[in-house]
Amino acid sequence: MPKKVDHDERRRLIADALMKVAAEQGLEAVSLRHVAQAAGVSAGMVQHYFHTKDEMMVFALAAISERSEVRVRAAVDALGADPTPRLLLRTMIAALLPLEGPTREDGRVALAFLAYTAVRPAASAELRPSTAQFVEFIASMLPRGGAVAAAGLLALMEGLGLYLLGGQYTPAQALDALDAQLDLLFAT
């Protein structure tokens, strides 16, 4: 009787291995051979699931997005019913910032992927709908400023992430900067 294979699980295993290689050695070290070695599978198996490096990268980026969504959802659920828009935005953005442990590792990989997509239009196209949706959601929470203010808040989040990963800011400094911006946006 043939063995049943969970193809989604194998793809996730490969994506996790890709993220591990990228977090430890940078995206330049990501290759079919290195990813296969990190996953404990053959290079042929990696090629079976991902025909190109771009396919593998796009799938791994989606996996990082999923992990971020789970983190954000848990943080928002912990707020209880009817949090204020300011508290909701602060909680969501804080959950996305690379403040510690696993979020720092995901942040390093996400940053490397963003650099990767900057020179690969097909890969960056995958990010546009979710980015637009996030900006639209943020805009709906803000008392004024709309999409422009929302884009600015998203840019602040990305910049704080860079400073956290580079060691220029501590988590406390990043959260203070976020709070200061939210205070400006929600000032009456």
- Shared domain for 27 and 66, answered yes or no, is no
Alpha helices in 26-125 (DSSP H): 32-39, 43-49, 53-77, 85-96, 101-118, 121-125
- Shared domain for 40 and 114, answered yes or no, is no
Q: Are 123 and 59 in contact (CB under 8 A)?
A: no
> What's the domain range around 112?
61-186
- Shared domain for 103 and 121, answered yes or no, is yes
- Shared domain for 110 and 151, answered yes or no, is yes
Inside any domain, residue 157: yes
- Shared domain for 3 and 84, answered yes or no, is no
* CA–CA distance, 41 with 126 (Å, rounded to integer): 27
**Domain boundary residue among 11, 28, 51?**
51
Band (1; pLDDT cuts 50, 70, 90): low
CATH at residue 113: 1.10.357.10
Band (33; pLDDT cuts 50, 70, 90): confident
- Shared domain for 90 and 70, answered yes or no, is yes
Inside any domain, residue 56: no
Pick from 24, 64, 6: nearest CA to 34: 24
- Shared domain for 182 and 101, answered yes or no, is yes
Total domains in the chain come to 2
Instruction: Say if residue 171's pLDDT is above 70.
Output: yes
Instruction: Say if residue 82's pLDDT is above 90.
Output: yes
Take residue 186 and report the two structure tokens written for it.
Answer: 């929600």
Instruction: Say if residue 168's pLDDT is above 90.
Output: yes
- Shared domain for 34 and 65, answered yes or no, is no
**How confident is the model over 137-154, as pLDDT tens digits?**
999 999 999 999 999 999
Inside any domain, residue 22: yes
Secondary structure (3-state) at 187:
coil
* CA–CA distance, 73 with 67 (Å, rounded to integer): 10
- Shared domain for 2 and 33, answered yes or no, is yes
Q: What is the pTM of this model?
A: 0.83
Least confident of 30-39, 81-90, 118-127, 161-170: 118-127
DSSP secondary structure letter of residue 126: T
Q: Which whole-number Å values give the CA distances from 21 to 14, 16, 68, 101, 181, in the listed order?
A: 11, 9, 19, 16, 35
Least confident of 49-53, 65-69, 157-161, 176-180: 49-53
Inside any domain, residue 128: yes
pLDDT on residue 112: 80
Band (2; pLDDT cuts 50, 70, 90): low
* CA–CA distance, 92 with 75 (Å, rounded to integer): 7
What percent of the chain clears pLDDT 90, i.e. is strictly above it? 47
Secondary structure (3-state) at 145:
coil
Torsion of CA 114, 119, 123, 126, to 10 degrees: 60
- Shared domain for 95 and 69, answered yes or no, is yes
**How confident is the model over 97-135, as pLDDT tens digits?**
999 988 888 888 888 888 878 887 777 777 788 889 999
Inside any domain, residue 95: yes
- Shared domain for 172 and 126, answered yes or no, is yes
CATH at residue 14: 1.10.10.60
- Shared domain for 95 and 10, answered yes or no, is no
